[in-house]
Structure 1
């Protein structure tokens, strides 16, 4: 026998609005993060989860209670159910054990199915939280500037996917056409060492100083958190599934205009096709100043005739 699932329909306007926001859109909302704790955690991982929650705020939801041990690399059904319940497409899961100390798992979902998942080990000796830096922070909801250092981000397929994951993780709203420079308040840098393959994440605040010119002088001040992560395991989506996630609806795609291109500077260049012209048949504009005066011509011709008659 097949069990039929009962569909509960909303009875209030608030419930209807909440379901309408979860419906598929042409331009999706910003990706939200779900922060989950494991059964066994230490104080450092608890602070780390709070910092990730603040970095993604207001697009972040945090579960305060501890959960039973979940093994995402074996079974992700429970985490997928939590994300669907909270309407989140990213999750951060922390645990701490003797086998895997200071364990952090970051993942992203597509259509409530886990797509890419990365497991990291936090270096607790170099870790510094947001509270350790006594300085001005950034406003929540602002888009950060992301900088990636390291050849592996462009050469190896696994680290290419990791770069794409962090861009998807921190980019925020995607339907913005223009960004105010004053709104760029912080920078997040990702540095990957080729030899040790240690991933260092730093967060800086952008400060504009007077330079005596129109363009201000920019200074970066570290505001935290400071993370040094070692990649333990990865679980990447297949190429076919990854290609499906990259598809865009036809309504969003820009219609290609014939014979119009855009160069590197952003200026539009147009190409016009014309037939070969015969310049002998080209009709120019007859200006009044170019016309000879008829009265002057008549006087000159009469004067020439008188001279000829006198000579005769």
Structure 2
């Protein structure tokens, strides 16, 4: 079991809060590591996956003796590395006589193993074996198209589970709006048989079509390989229900003085306090009062002048 440490200061508490499970998750990072023994093919596969996920992946080059994901007690080190690097996805490579070129992909929830899929790698071709224009190489931060071809992804349990893991692994950060220029590659997964999936990576080339919508062409840039499903482990139902919880599942906070009507829709009440106009201090130097005083003074002077003139000239 992992040792739970309490934060000693506010900064550590904020870091732990960032890594805690959220209703709206951040972008998922991928941890890539290897076991006690690996082959040259498997090392190339791990390196290619790291390049495809550049910017959102962490790769360990040292060998790990204690990681055996499908065995009891063999997941402790993997969960420790997941907690240390804050990675919710992992790709683990190992090689043995019984399971050659073995690749284990999985997800974690709250830094504990959520589910696992074990596949064997066959017919691997690296990026270097494909000849193409280097300008077509995918850029860092671009978004891919992901296509799953075949009925096996809907009917076979193993392939359906593999589809979920691959979709989480390669889709990157979820965005609401997308520029067409930022989509420059495509991952194509083809179900060849009930336990074999062919994977290829293609670049998108936009060409003129005479309309507003450009014409797209696929250029294979690698890598490509076959995934042969060997073992898989589905998540626990209780953990799955907790991990799949969304923000809409939470009860909404009741708003005060707000109600809804069938005809008028949303109705709100606004309470305005007494303004107490009678206690307001009014200025005596208003322009209107000054004009009244000026007119009264003018009228008074006119009357005085008229009476003085009448006294001087009695006729």
**What's the TM-score once normalised by structure 1's chain length?**
0.72
Aligned equivalent of 2:183: 184
Structure 1 residue 142, shift from structure 2 partner: 1.7
Give 1 or 2 for the bigger CA radius of gyration.
2
Q: How far did 1:163 drift? A: 1.5
- Give the structure 2 partner of residue 265 of structure 1: none
**Equivalent residue, structure 2, for 1:232:** 230
1:88 deviates by 0.3
Match of 2:171 in 1: 171
Q: Is 1:111 aligned to residue 110 of structure 2?
A: yes
Shift in Å at residue 76 of structure 1? 1.3
Structure 2 match to 1:201: 199
Q: Give yes or no for the alignment of 1:130 onto 2:131.
A: no
- Greater mean deviation of Cα atoms: 206-215 or 182-191: 206-215
Do the aligned partners of 1:151 and 1:194 also contact (CA within 8 Å) in 2?
no
Q: In structure 2, what is the Cα distance between the partners aligned to 1:184 and 1:252?
A: 34
198-207 vs 63-72, which deviates more? 63-72
Per the alignment, do residues 152 and 240 of structure 1 end up closer, same or farther by CA in structure 2, a change over 3 Å counting? farther
Deviations 1:174-195 (A, max 9, x none): 2x22100111110001111235
**1:57 is the counterpart of 2:54:** yes
1:59–1:253: structure 2 CA closer, same or farther, 3 Å change rule?
Answer: farther
> 2: CA distance between counterparts of 1:103 and 1:39?
12
* Runs of 4+ with deviation above 3 angstroms: 4-11, 15-21, 23-26, 250-255
Give the Cα–Cα distance (whole angstroms) in 1 for the partners of residues 89 and 252 of structure 2.
Answer: 29
Name whichever structure is richer in strand by fraction.
Answer: 2
Pick from 63, 68, 91 the counterpart of residue 66 of structure 1. Answer: 63
- Partners of 2:236 and 2:16 in 1: how far apart? 31
1:210-249 aligned at under 5 Å gives the runs 210-249=208-247
Contact 2:103 2:119 in 1 (8 A): yes
* Aligned counterpart, 2:158: 158
Shift of 1:10: 6.0
| Superposed counterparts of 1:30-49, under 5 Å | 30-49=27-46
C-alpha deviation, 1:243, in angstroms: 2.4
**Partner residue, 2:24:** 27
**Contact residue 56 and residue 141 of structure 1 kept, 8 A:** no
Aligned partners of 1:128 and 1:225 also within 8 Å: yes
Would you say the 8 A contact 2:93–2:104 is kept in 1? Answer: yes
Q: Secondary structure at the match of 2:140?
A: coil
CA distance in 2, matches of 1:244, 1:52: 29
Q: Which residue of 2 aligns with 1:147?
A: 147
Per-residue deviation at 1:20? 5.4
CA offset digits 1:39-90 (Å, max 9, x no partner)? 1111111111011111112110011211115211003121111111110011
Secondary structure of the residue aligned to 1:188 is strand
The SS at the match of 1:225 is: strand
Q: Distance in 1 between matches of 2:225 and 2:125?
A: 7
Tell me, in whole angstroms, the C-alpha distance in 2 between the residues paired with 1:216 and 1:250. 38
Residues 219-263 of structure 1: per-residue CA shift (max 9 Å, x gap): 0001111011111111111333322221112488999xxxxxxxx
Distance 1:23 1:92 in 2: 22
Aligned-pair CA distance for 1:16: 7.3
With the length of structure 2 as denominator, give the TM-score of the two structures: 0.72
Question: Structure 1, residues 1-47: CA drift from partner, whole Å, max 9, x if none?
Answer: xxx96545369x7x777555424444211111101111111111111
**Runs of 5+ consecutive residues of structure 2 not aligned to the other structure:** 254-261, 264-315
Looking at structure 2, the residues matched to 132 and 213 of structure 1 have their Cα atoms a distance apart, in angstroms, of: 35
Q: 1:24 and 1:161 mapped to 2: Cα distance? A: 22
CA distance in 1, matches of 2:108, 2:56: 15
